[in-house]
Amino acid sequence: MITLRSYLQGRWQAGTGSPATLVDPTTEEPIATTSTAGLDLAAALEHARTVGGPALRAMTFAERGAMIKRMSKVLYEVRDALIDVSIQNGGTTRSDAKFDIDGATGTLAYYASLGQKLGEARLLVEGTGEQLTRSPRFWGVHVKTPRRGVAVHVNAFNFPAWGLAEKAAVALLAGVPVVSKPATSTALLAFRVMERLVEAADLPDGALQLVCGEPGNLLDTLGPQDVLAFTGAGSTGAHLRALQAVVARSVRINIEADSLNSAVLGPDAEPGSDTYMMLLRDTVREMTQKTGQKCTATRRVFVPRAHLERVQEDLREQLASIKVGDPALEEVRMGPLASAQQLAAVRAGIDLLEQSGARIVHGSRGKVEPFGVPAGKGYFVSPVLLRADDPHAARAVHEHEVFGPVATLMPYEDVADAARLVALGEGGLVTSVYTDDRAALEALVLGLAPWSGRILCGSSKIADQAIAPGLVLPSCVHGGPGRAGGGEELGGERGLDFYMQRTAMQGDRALLARALGLTLEPPAEA
């Protein structure tokens, strides 16, 4: 039994009081405890602001990039050990664990490269500016400088490694120190990641701190230069957005929350075609990878009514081959849900979808017999495919995210109807459309874009070359409008904006250029 500690103000600290217990979701055995009782989290924030921030701001982008590269490298060196931790505390298969851990090191490596590219600068400049009045001397240019506060990252249970790393990579590259709080139930992996970073990554004091356990007063003292980034349930996101400190002090907040991600089979995609097969493959992967516990997992599948039965049968066939059980075993394709709480929520969610007019056509809400697991143990559920024949009436299907291996298949009448149905989700992280028809793609994409943070367009020519819709690339924005939280993360350099203040500089062009070390020349043709 391990006692997790928090890494605050440059040292590992254990809380007092009655701790929370982390379990192995395959066996339900307790594996660790953690508590933040008695820890001074406000002091940790101030440590970040006064020690970590100045240290990071003294570094160039290239130097911060080199630091982030070290983070990636030292984590990669212990990859196998981290995978084992993920399997044990997360109930992930080895493949699922890699998705999280390689996602972490890959995203760090990406931002390390971006730091290299941004080079010796300490601020970002938008273009070369422009003449503001009739005088060619009086110039305007927008620059971005690191905020002087701390970035508090509150992460979800499903990606303990990637969640910590992808947020930290962007903040640290921007020059803003981080206090990261993993979800308690799967915090063991984040704790191991942090142990390794403290041991081997040579981070400046105060650049990165970790809170394992309850948030306590972590969010009470946020101020006008601080930012808060949250990934998790929409209800928690709404609570955070209304916090007194956030509301009264203009704390910047980014939320990545619930999302009823959709897959849409184009009207032209004939059963058996490469494009059709791509939808099947993606849907099964998105339903079952990480036991459906991904914010980008597909929850709704819309197909032309004529193909409804065929898609249902094809999905059932593929889902039937998914072996559920002990995720440490090689033949197992899907492990348990991460906690008893998640299992209860998934079962309740399936009930809600059924009450709303969907019916189960594959799997069940009840017990499964997982492979290689002691009888009656573990938070297992089977993949569940539902079907709703009247999708406009089945409101819960569009409004309630069941965070497990659960999706609902629905028919649409025409492309405009498909767009309307997707929009009933009120904003999502990713929508995937599968079509080779230019006109259908145009209509779908323009109809869906305002409701989607990302659209993956599957088609025959890239059927074997595309990423899965659930994969978040560091170069593309991650986030979505409305129910998905209205935020944006990553997106390459775009992600830095959240951590920086954009300022319009106005003045004597030559003097500004000298003082800021910028090239502020009029464009050649002017």
Residue with tokens 């490269």: 113
Q: Which of 456, 470, 489, 498 touches a copy of itself by CB under 8 A?
A: 456
Q: Which of 146, 335, 391, 470 touches a copy of itself by CB under 8 A?
A: 146
Q: Which of 69, 252, 300, 333 touches a copy of itself by CB under 8 A?
A: 252
Indicate the SS3 state at residue 331: coil
Taking the CA atoms of 396, 401, 407 and 409 in sequence, report the sign of the dihedral they define.
positive
Q: Least distance in Å: CB of 518 to a copy of itself?
A: 11
SS3 content of the chain, % helix, strand, coil (to 5): 40, 20, 35
Residue type, 134: R
Nearer to a copy of itself, 377 or 420 (CB): 420
Q: Least distance in Å: CB of 247 to a copy of itself?
A: 5
Verify binding: residue 106, a copy of itself, rule CB under 8 A.
no
Nearer to a copy of itself, 355 or 501 (CB): 501
Q: Segment 431-450, which members bind a copy of itself (CB under 8 A)?
A: 436, 438-439, 441-442, 445-446, 449-450
Tokens of 129: 């500016």
Q: Which of 277, 322, 360, 457 touches a copy of itself by CB under 8 A?
A: 457
- Closest C-alpha among 175, 211, 225 to residue 42: 211
Q: Least distance in Å: CB of 95 to a copy of itself?
A: 19
Tokens of 419: 């767009």
Nearer to a copy of itself, 276 or 451 (CB): 451
The contact mask relative to a copy of itself for 467-506 (x = CB under 8 A, - = no) is x-----x-xxx---xxxxxx-x--x--x------xxxxxx
Burial of 350 (0-12, 13-18, 19+ CB in 10 A): buried
Nearer to a copy of itself, 250 or 341 (CB): 250
Q: Tell me the CA end-to-end span of the chain in Å, nearest whole number.
A: 70
Positions marked catalytic: 256, 295
Instruction: Identify the helix (H) or strand (E) that includes residue 445.
Output: helix 438-448
Compute the chain's Rg from CA coordinates: 24
- Closest C-alpha among 335, 232, 321 to residue 289: 335
Verify binding: residue 416, a copy of itself, rule CB under 8 A.
no
Q: Are 133 and 192 in contact (CB under 8 A)?
A: no
Q: Segment 161-180, which members bind a copy of itself (CB under 8 A)?
A: none
- Closest C-alpha among 109, 452, 2 to residue 259: 452
Tokens of 79: 């990859």
Q: Which of 22, 87, 151, 255 touches a copy of itself by CB under 8 A?
A: 255
Nearer to a copy of itself, 94 or 147 (CB): 147
- Within 10 A of 242 (CB to CB), how many other CB atoms are there? 9
Tokens of 237: 């996101």
Verify binding: residue 241, a copy of itself, rule CB under 8 A.
yes
Q: Segment 326-365, which members bind a copy of itself (CB under 8 A)?
A: none
Nearer to a copy of itself, 62 or 457 (CB): 457
Count of residues interacting with a copy of itself (CB under 8 A): 83
The number of residues making up the chain comes to: 526
The contact mask relative to a copy of itself for 210-229 (x = CB under 8 A, - = no) is -------------xxx----
Q: Which of 62, 345, 361, 462 touches a copy of itself by CB under 8 A?
A: 462
